[in-house]
Structure 1
Amino acid sequence: MELTQEQLNQFNEDGFLIIKNFADSKLCDEILEKAKEHLVKKQAPIETEQEYMSLDEDKITVRRLRQVYDREEIFKKWMTNKEIRPILKQILKDTPVLTLAHHNSIMTKLPHESTRTYWHQDRRYWSFENDDLVSVWLSLGDEFLENGLLEFIPGTHKMKFDKSSFDEVDNFIDENEENQKIIEKRTHQNLAKGDIVLFHCKTLHHANKNSTDNAKISFVYTVRAQSNKPLKNTRSDFKEIVLD
């Protein structure tokens, strides 16, 4: 499968693109079943709401299952899906390489326990020669504002921001007057099982906490162009898979 020119233009202009009904329903169900097994066990490595938000609490609420590529064959099967490779090659204009240092994850918004994900750019997670990385977000069920759907601000992947626009952990500051003008342009579209979102690592996005009674579980991984090398002796200088 390849993107139409209209879809490619939309990604380049907005910094994200939604493709409906991309992944097979059975595949999504198998991923979800295995993800729930790991979540129940709180199987390491994980990231918790408590550590992420610096909350001083005894309980552990899983925010993401990390390093999922090597956990289950069904996870690996999705991350090396051949149908999406031509799309990623179109966007990157190069052979895509699966980077496993971060965003090699099952993402959760657990009911009533999850916290808000503040506006941010994913560039903060990586150290490569340039910031042209693309994430692939797979919805494993219905996603909407009340359970923590991602919202995006179109075009922010092409904008240059002053450091004062971000706080000490690189969250885009809501209270900043100039930021508020940008946040007003936020947009969203509900997702269903099998939908994917492709988004540039500089596109501003956020998600509310899950205020429903059911968990929202999603899958995200990130690719770089083969020519965009990781910087030596950084976290990004890690195991990778070439998707040729």
Structure 2
Amino acid sequence: MKLAQEQIEQFDKDGFLLIKDFAPHELCEKILEKATYHLENKIKPIETESEYLEANDETNTVRRLRQVYQREDIFKEWMTYEETLPMLQQLFGEEVVLTLAHHNSIMTKMPKDSSRTSWHQDRRYWHFENNDLISIWLSLDDEFIENGLLEFVPGSHKLNLEKDQFDEKSNFLDEHPKNIEIIKNRVHTNLKRGDIVLFHCKTLHHAGKNITDRPKISFVYTTRAISNKPLKNTRSDVEEVLLG
């Protein structure tokens, strides 16, 4: 699939782009079935909610399945889905590489035990020559504010933010006077199964807790332009996949 010029311009302006009903529902169902099995059995590597809650508030609830590319063929099938590549080539203007360094994950918001995801930019996770990376977020079922839908600040990927606007973990500080004004511009759109969101790694985003009685499970992976090399001897200098 190729993007229309207005979609390319919207991504450049906002730092994210929603595409409705993109992934086949049958594919989403197969991914969700395998993801549920890995989550229920806590198949490592995983990230738990205890890493995000207060020190005295322990839980082994899974927040993220890590390194999913090699776990199941159906996961790999989605991450190399042929309809996605033309869009990424348009946005990068060159060949595209799938990085397996961090956003190679099944993301969850479990009922009751989920924590809030603070405002942040994803560039904190990687070490490349530049910050022009694009993540692809796939909704495997309904996503809305009450179960932890992502919200974005349009245009935030172009802001010149200062160090004091972030805490020591690179979370964007909610109560910083400058940040309050920026966060006022937040937007969201409910997602359905098969919807995807492309977003720049400098676009500010966050998600609340899941206050419903059903899990929310999503899939995210990240790509870069072939010319944007990982820095040597960093966590980003790992196996990658050339998509084309």
Q: Distance in 2 between matches of 1:149 and 1:228?
A: 30
Structure 1 contact 49–55 (Cα < 8 Å) conserved: no
Q: Distance in 1 between matches of 2:59 and 2:184?
A: 35
Structure 1 contact 64–106 (Cα < 8 Å) conserved: yes
Q: Give 1:1-244 correspondences, 5 Å limit.
A: 1-244=1-244
Pairwise CA distance, 1:114: 0.2
Unaligned runs of 5+ in 1: none
User: Any idea what SS the aligned residue of 1:136 has?
Assistant: strand
Pairwise CA distance, 1:23: 0.1
Pairwise CA distance, 1:200: 0.1
Structure 2 contact 48–61 (Cα < 8 Å) conserved: yes
TM-score under structure 1 normalisation? 0.99
Q: Distance in 2 between matches of 1:188 and 1:220?
A: 17
Q: Distance in 1 between matches of 2:70 and 2:8?
A: 31
| Residue deviations 1:142-190 (CA, integer Å, cap 9, x gap) | 0000000000000000111110000000000001011000000000000
- One-letter amino acid matched to 1:202: K
For this pair of structures, how many residues does the alignment match?
244
Task: Return closer, same or farther for 1:176/1:22 CA change in 2, 3 Å cut-off.
Answer: same
Pairwise CA distance, 1:54: 4.9
Q: Distance in 1 between matches of 2:161 and 2:54?
A: 26
Structure 2 contact 48–59 (Cα < 8 Å) conserved: no
Q: Distance in 2 between matches of 1:139 and 1:192?
A: 6
Structure 1 contact 48–64 (Cα < 8 Å) conserved: yes
Q: Distance in 2 between matches of 1:88 and 1:67?
A: 21
Q: Distance in 2 between matches of 1:119 and 1:54?
A: 18
Pairwise CA distance, 1:53: 3.4
Q: Distance in 1 between matches of 2:100 and 2:87?
A: 19
Unaligned runs of 5+ in 2: none
| Residue deviations 1:91-116 (CA, integer Å, cap 9, x gap) | 11111100001000000000011000
Task: Return closer, same or farther for 1:189/1:58 CA change in 2, 3 Å cut-off.
Answer: closer
| Residue deviations 1:25-64 (CA, integer Å, cap 9, x gap) | 0000000000000000111000111013353344301110
TM-score under structure 2 normalisation? 0.99
Structure 1 contact 111–214 (Cα < 8 Å) conserved: yes
Task: Provide the identity percentage.
Answer: 64
4+ residue runs over 2 A deviation: 52-59
Structure 2 contact 52–115 (Cα < 8 Å) conserved: no
Q: Distance in 1 between matches of 2:209 and 2:96?
A: 32
- One-letter amino acid matched to 1:221: Y
Q: Distance in 2 between matches of 1:234 and 1:7?
A: 34
Q: Distance in 1 between matches of 2:52 and 2:70?
A: 23
Q: Distance in 2 between matches of 1:65 and 1:25?
A: 21
Task: Return closer, same or farther for 1:172/1:30 CA change in 2, 3 Å cut-off.
Answer: same
Q: Distance in 1 between matches of 2:148 and 2:57?
A: 22
- One-letter amino acid matched to 1:211: I
Structure 1 contact 50–56 (Cα < 8 Å) conserved: no
Q: Distance in 1 between matches of 2:96 and 2:138?
A: 18
- Aligned alpha-carbon RMSD (Å): 0.8
Q: Distance in 1 between matches of 2:14 and 2:26?
A: 31
